[in-house]
Chain A
Amino acid sequence: MTARRSLNLKLACSVLAAFLLSMAFSWFLHDHLSERDAYALIDRTFDNVQDELADCVNERLVLVCMAAREALEDGHPDDPVSLMKLAHELRVTEISVADEKGDIVRSSVTEYLARPGKPAFNFATTDDEAAKEMMGLVDGRYTEYCQPFRRNPASGNWRKFIGVWRHKGGFFEIGCDAHALQSLARSTCVDLFRNWHVAGTGGIVVTTPSGLVLSDYEEPNREGTQFQEPDGTLFYWKRKEIESFPVYVMIPKGSAAVQRDVLVGATATLNGAALVFVALLVGFVISAFVRQQIRAQAAKEMKMATDIQLSALPKVFPPFPDETRFDIWASMETAKEVGGDFYDFYFTGQDRVLFLVADVSGKGVPAAMFMMRAKTLLKSAAQTGKPVVQAFEEVNNALSEGNSSCTFVTAWAGELNTRTGHVTFVNAGHNPPVVIRGGKAELLKSRPSLALGAMPDIHYRVGEVQLEPGDSIYLYTDGIVEQPDASESLYGEERMLKVLLDPVRTGKDVLDAVLDDVRRYSAGVEQADDRTQLLIRYRGEPDVVSHEYVPTMEDLARATDDLAAALESVPGKAKNKLLVAADEIFANIVRHSGATRWTLSVVLTHHPEGVRLVISDDGKPFDPLIHRDPDTTLSAAERDVGGLGILIVKKTMSPVTYRRRNGNNILSIGKDYGD
């Protein structure tokens, strides 16, 4: 939990840092962008001012030029001095007249005119492209032409030249310097400068070179390279000379920054939302990952606990294939969270078999470990041949010692005398088992003793029950009876007893029937606890006939007759199968074993009725079960009969077991043919 909290804190800090970083970046970015935008706006404004101011100036000067043309065509003298006078009258700087070839033929500026050794200025041949363009007045492209106000490349003077065409060929031209231009155009253009605003509170300031402000925009105070309003507002600004007028375009920084502030604000909101979302997502992913790790770890432990539990249990059934006096079956279905159940059975003497079911308190790995300990202690105590009650008392003391976790184990153990059917049992706090006999299933109630491991030095009570051939005892754990259904009511003993009454054939069928019924009952509900059950059926003493033979065809025939006689009461179908299987085994022994003697025991078992044939020989070791089956799909030409006998035995008999003991091959084959 602490790790989780510190993880969350770290996460929150990184998210905050990321937010601040991104906001700072955003602010600088938008600051830069708004400045760039402001200057782009200023440049566009200058383009606009340039166009409008040039139009206004040109319109005025063309009129002046026409006035000059009118005067000269009306006969105004055109010697340089007279032209200078005219220029002065018209308030322009110079006046020239060009002929149709582009030569200046009359001018107030004598340098333009032809002199000895130097031709007149010619518009057609000049390198000055703007001047050359005046030839458009000769070839008829223009009736009037205005150059921008500019530094004349030839003279180095700042001038604006205006030309209008001349009726008898050529054109008239006036030139204005800044002073002339302003005196002519100022009054005309002043209207133009009214109400020029840029970007809300920004403005255009048009001045004269001497600093006189012509526009109506109230120019802010100039502070070095900055303009500043009285309230401290600073400006983005630029100055350009347009048609000799110095023009300032300025945008207050606050006005430009409005856009930035809005954008940064919007970005902040979006970023904030995005970061919160990302933080939640990352948090979710991390916690899901952590949870998944924890789950995987838990699952691993559970798997380990299940493995411990299951690995310790005998799982091969029938566990004692030669045993004909009783059958035993057991099963365990572990819950998702292992509950520490176990079952066990083993011989504690030649005719004594101990069987038990137990349930460790607690769950998971600790329960599984405790279960292993309890199971091992019980087995080693019981297999010394001590009575079951004494084994329980010893195990209880061992488990109680230093049992700090207060884990304990409930157990019900019975010891069956396989000759007499007598059972002595001890119940250490476990559910009462069920005795199934004579068409009834009843709980075998006894006053339980304390669970194993709960407290040392307990004396366990011993119970007794006598089984007749065909009687069974069924053991179970609370995982069966305490399984809830969807409405939380428990499966219970009544339902279990009812299923146990069903006439079912084998022990496995009985156990499966109970499990099926519990599953049906609790459909859709998770398994609450391990479900462990064990069924032992006392079959009673079998009838046994044994004969000994030598490996000859004569004895083989005798054995066949002996077997047929022993099986007289057996139903024909089962009898035929047994005779065929026996013939295969007899033939193998006589022909291939190298034995000197062999025996046949015919064991007729009861409850259910069945037959075991135990055939032993002292020949060379031969385990028929490990031989590969012949291929039964070959064609007639490819087939031979080798190996078919063993195949027939394996397919028709159950169980079939082989042992090598005291120099003998012992093959046991069997068949139960019904209750």
Chain B
Amino acid sequence: MTIAVNGRVDTVTAPELEAGLKFGDATCVVIDLANVPYMSSAGLRLLLSAHKTMLGKGGELQIANVQESVREVLDITGFSDILNLV
């Protein structure tokens, strides 16, 4: 399944995104960040949590279409090495 995120991800918007990240029985989830201009560590927490959940289920989480500003934050924090960026 694919979940498309729209808009910035920060302390204000993260709870809303967290509520939307429901994967059900899916074993392969793609989170599409094409429309996310920037993301703070509040968003990183959600991505890490989702990644761990999918790993626990034996499934896979993919992060797609990462924009430049988001990419920079992922690089600084070392998350690019952990997450499956496609």
Write the residues of chain A forming the contact surface with B, with a CB cutoff of 8 angstroms: 553, 556-557, 560, 572-573, 576-577, 579-580, 583-584, 586-587, 590, 632-637, 639-641, 644-645, 647-648, 651-652
Contact = CB atoms under 8 A, between A and B. Distances in A.
A532 B48 CA distance: 52
A639 B12 contact: no
Given A586-B11, A636-B55, A641-B48, A651 B76 contact: yes
A91 B52 CA distance: 141
A583 B40 contact: yes
B78 A648 contact: no
A636 B82 contact: yes
Interface string B47-82: 010011001000000000000110011001110011
Given A556-B11, A556-B12, A652 B41 contact: no
B66 to A, nearest CB: 13
A637 B78 CA distance: 13
A418 B10 CA distance: 37
Contacts of B72: 577, 652
A40 to B, nearest CB: 95
A648 B77 contact: yes
B70 to A, nearest CB: 9
B82 A583 contact: no
Given A560-B10, A636-B51, A644 B37 contact: no
A644 B52 contact: no
Contacts of A640: 48
Nearest to B51: A636
B48 A632 contact: no
A586 B11 CA distance: 9
Contact of B38 (A553, A580, A632): A580
B2 to A, nearest CB: 21
Central interface residue in B37, B41, B78, B81, by most chain A CB within 10 Å: B41
A560 to B, nearest CB: 6
A562 to B, nearest CB: 12
Contact of A636 (B12, B39, B52): B52
A651 B75 CA distance: 11
A639 B69 CA distance: 22
A647 B11 contact: no
B51 A632 contact: no
11 contacts: A553-B11, A553-B12, A572-B37, A577-B72, A579-B40, A580-B39, A634-B78, A639-B82, A641-B48, A644-B41, A648-B77
A583 B11 contact: yes
Interface of A is mostly: helix
Given A560-B10, A576-B37, A645-B40, A652 B76 contact: yes
A590 B14 CA distance: 15
A560 B8 CA distance: 11
A587 B68 CA distance: 23
Interface of B is mostly: helix
Contacts of B69: 573, 576-577, 580
Contacts of A633: 78, 81
Contacts of A637: 52, 55
A644 B12 contact: no
B42 interface: yes
Interface of B: 8, 10-12, 37-42, 44-45, 48, 51-52, 55, 68-69, 72-73, 76-78, 81-83
B4 to A, nearest CB: 19
Contacts of B78: 632-634, 639
A633 B78 CA distance: 6
Contacts of A648: 40-41, 73, 76-77
A48 to B, nearest CB: 104
Contacts of A632: 76-78
A644 B38 contact: no
Nearest to B83: A636
A636 to B, nearest CB: 4
Nearest to A638: B82
B71 to A, nearest CB: 11
Nearest to A587: B11
Contacts of A580: 10, 38-40, 69, 73
A652 B38 CA distance: 13
Given A573-B69, A647-B76, A652-B76, A583 B52 contact: no
Central interface residue in B11, B38, B48, B82, by most chain A CB within 10 Å: B11
A640 B44 CA distance: 9
B11 A639 contact: no
A637 B54 CA distance: 12
Contacts of B44: 641, 644
A645 B37 contact: no
Contacts of B82: 635-636, 639
B14 to A, nearest CB: 9
A639 B10 CA distance: 19
Nearest to B82: A636
Given A580-B10, A587-B42, A639 B76 contact: no
Contacts of B83: 636
A461 B8 CA distance: 60
Nearest to A574: B69
Contacts of B39: 580
Contacts of A586: 11
A364 to B, nearest CB: 49
Contacts of A641: 41, 44-45, 48
Nearest to A559: B12
Contacts of A647: 76-77
Nearest to A590: B11
A639 B48 contact: yes
B48 A583 contact: no
B54 to A, nearest CB: 10
A636 B83 CA distance: 8
A560 B52 CA distance: 30
Nearest to A646: B41
Nearest to A645: B41
A583 B76 contact: no
Given A641-B41, A645-B41, A579 B77 contact: no
B12 A557 contact: yes
Given A583-B42, A632-B76, A639-B48, 16 more contacts: A553-B12, A572-B37, A577-B38, A577-B69, A577-B72, A579-B8, A580-B10, A587-B41, A587-B42, A590-B11, A632-B77, A633-B78, A633-B81, A636-B55, A641-B41, A648-B77
A78 to B, nearest CB: 136
A444 to B, nearest CB: 43
Contacts of A584: 40-41
Contact of B77 (A553, A556, A644): A644
B68 A573 contact: yes
A584 B38 CA distance: 12
Nearest to A637: B52
